[in-house]
A and B are shown apart, each in its own frame.
Chain A
Amino acid sequence: MDTVFSLLAISLGAILSNNFIFSQFLGICPFLGVSKKVDTAVGMGFAVTFVMGLASAITWLVNTFILVKFDLMYMQTVAFILVIASLVQFIEMFLQKSMPTLYTALGVYLPLITTNCAVLGVALLNIQNNYSFIESVVYGITGGLGFLLAIVLFASIREKLIFADYPKCWDGFPIALVTAGLMALAFMGFSGLQVW
């Protein structure tokens, strides 16, 4: 039961109280860049979830079985970037061949994820928090789901913002950043959350 509870705590933390966007401020670039429409936001969110889950698994393996063995923990960042970049490339090729519809749906977002700091962040946090393999994968996937939740909520607000009557100098990114800040404030409400 303990593992189930700890996994639940990790999931709730990753989605709500320690949301990657709103409390750790990782992955802000795609969050602001790909949130003009809900459709594309959903696509980006799922792509990030997918890559974060896979990257968590592989980086954990690389760290435990290679870096720790050779006492090279200080090379984590470099090694993880290498892993993530190759992984995204591999997924892109794989999707283009076997799932062309998903490939065209994800489109330009997949390569964008290569340089997404949320993916590198989740890999490094897994090691920092001393997570086991299962915990790492769960943290990666739920962290991605947290990103999905944040970007979809944000995109639906931005779609409505078109009809809002704000001063013209706020048009575009200024109003988006203010909205993101207010949403981050709202998500701070989850920080006192206690599961049991």
Chain B
Amino acid sequence: MGNVIAALLVLGILGALFGLVLSVASKIFEVKKDPREEAILSHLAGANCGGCGFPGCGGCAAAILAGTAPVTACAPAGPENAAAIAKIMGQEAPTGERQVAFVRCNGGTNAVKRYEYVGVKDCISATKVAAGPLECAFGCLGFGSCVNACQFGAMSIGPGGTAVVDPDKCTNCGACMSACPRKLIVSVPANEKKVKVACANKDKGKAAMSVCKASCIGCGLCQKECKKDAIHVVDGVAVVDGEKCIGCKLCTKVCPRDAILPIATAEEKEKYKAIKKAQAEKAKAAAEAKAAESAQ
């Protein structure tokens, strides 16, 4: 019995002693952690998707705290959480509508193939074999590197052979954008009325026309047609300014290549052509009448 008590006492005292040393040490060697980091972390998505470019949500919270990342760094968390983080950081809440990823290519079956690629089903691998199986050096390869990168099941390879985004599921985390070897995926406003250019081919005219049936050739018709100055040909490809676009879709009706989504039907195009013709004639008649009037 004496043995048991001695063992209990000695080990108990030993344990208590170590515990005491540790608790004192934890006070002496305490590393002050900013309580805001924990608070920011609770407002992040917590999926550890890596879309922000930091190692996990903890890394992102530390970066936001250090000021090296914006309060909106976590796209999946949404604007409410971004606003909450902004409040923690003592900043103004960011404004702006929800954004989703968009694949700037409508090639797929429209695009001209250079050879049949039979290697590993991965876009990066495919681009390594003679710069990819497509004639178009900009187009979507359709092997689904972005589909694999998406943690939210929002990406798929559509019937047209290119990657498509499900805007309802997309959180705009950016994982697909960094997975795409051709950098085809960008953030666009989630508003479906607004137009999007589904081509990233920077070649002009014939060079762009020969590689794909749905390529932007940089003709600039859309730019002339736009009343809001929202679409411009930059570097040989039309680019929409999501903030200025009001979704009137005039540009889609004049695009000769059907490169602007939503694609206008032939009927709509004819109708718009007729309206424009009528308008032009009216203007011409008015001008002639005016000229006649001044002659008199």
Q: Is the CB of B18 within 8 A of A83?
A: yes
Q: Is A169's CB within 8 Å of the partner chain B? A: no
One of B24-32, B149-157, B164-172 contacting the partner: B24-32
Name the residue in B10, B26, B28 with the highest tally of chain A Cβ atoms < 10 Å from its Cβ.
B10
Contact of A96 among B3, B15, B18, B29 (CB under 8 A): B29
* A170 within 8 Å of B (CB atoms): no
Chain A residue at minimal CB-CB distance from B19: A86
Chain A 72-110, CB within 8 Å of chain B: the 1/0 string?
100100110011001001100110111000000000000
Q: Please tell me the size bucket of the interface on A.
A: 10 to 19
Q: In this assembly, does A62 line the interface, its C-beta being within 8 Å of a C-beta of chain B?
A: yes
| A72-B31 CB under 8 A given contacts A86-B18, A90-B21, A93-B25 | no
Which residues of chain B (18-56) have a CB below 8 Å from chain A? Answer: 18-19, 21-22, 25-26, 28-31
A69 to B25, CA, bound (A): 28
Task: Say whether, besides A97-B30, A97-B31, A75 and B25 are in contact (CB < 8 Å).
Answer: no
Q: Which of B3, B7, B14 contacts A82 (CB 8 A)?
A: B14
A72 to B22, CA, bound (A): 24
List, in ascending order, chain B residues with CB within 8 A of A66's CB.
Answer: 10, 14
- Tell me whether chain B's interface is mostly helix, strand or loop, or mixed: helix
Minimum CB–CB distance from B16 to chain A (whole Å) comes to 11
A70 within 8 A of B: yes
Is the pair B6, A70 in contact by a Cβ cutoff of 8 Å?
Answer: yes
> Which A residues touch B7, using CB under 8 A?
70, 72, 75
- Contact flags (1/0) for A133-163 with B, using CB distance below 8 Å? 0000000000000000000000000000000
Q: Name B29's closest neighbour in chain A (CB-CB).
A: A97
Tally of B interface residues using CB under 8 Å: 17
Least Cβ distance of B10 to chain A in Å? 5
Grouping DSSP codes into helix (H, G, I), strand (E, B) and loop, the A interface class, with mixed when no group exceeds half, is helix
B14 engages A79 (CB within 8 Å): yes
Determine if A93 and B6 form an interchain contact, defined as CB atoms under 8 angstroms apart.
no
Nearest chain A CB to B227's CB is how many angstroms away?
A: 57
Q: List chain A residues, Cβ under 8 A from B19.
A: 86
Which chain B residue shows the least CB distance to A100? Answer: B31
Query: B29 near A79 (CB under 8 angstroms)?
Result: no
User: Which residues on the A side are within 8 Å of B28 (C-beta)?
Assistant: 97
Contacts of B29 in A (CB 8 A): 93-94, 96-98
**Shortest distance from the beta carbon of B12 to any chain A beta carbon, whole Å:** 11
Residue of A67, A70, A78, A93 touching B26 (CB-CB under 8 A): A93
Decide yes or no whether B11 CB sits under 8 A from chain A. yes
Residues in B with CB closer than 8 Å to A71 are 3, 6
Q: A71-B6, A79-B14, A86-B22 known; 7 other A-B pairs, CB under 8 Å?
A: A75-B11, A78-B11, A82-B11, A90-B25, A94-B25, A97-B30, A97-B31
Q: Which 5 A-B pairs have the closest CB atoms?
A: A97-B29, A86-B18, A93-B29, A70-B10, A93-B25
10 example contacts (A-B, Cβ-Cβ < 8 A) are as follows A70-B7, A71-B3, A72-B10, A75-B7, A75-B11, A82-B14, A90-B21, A93-B25, A94-B29, A96-B29
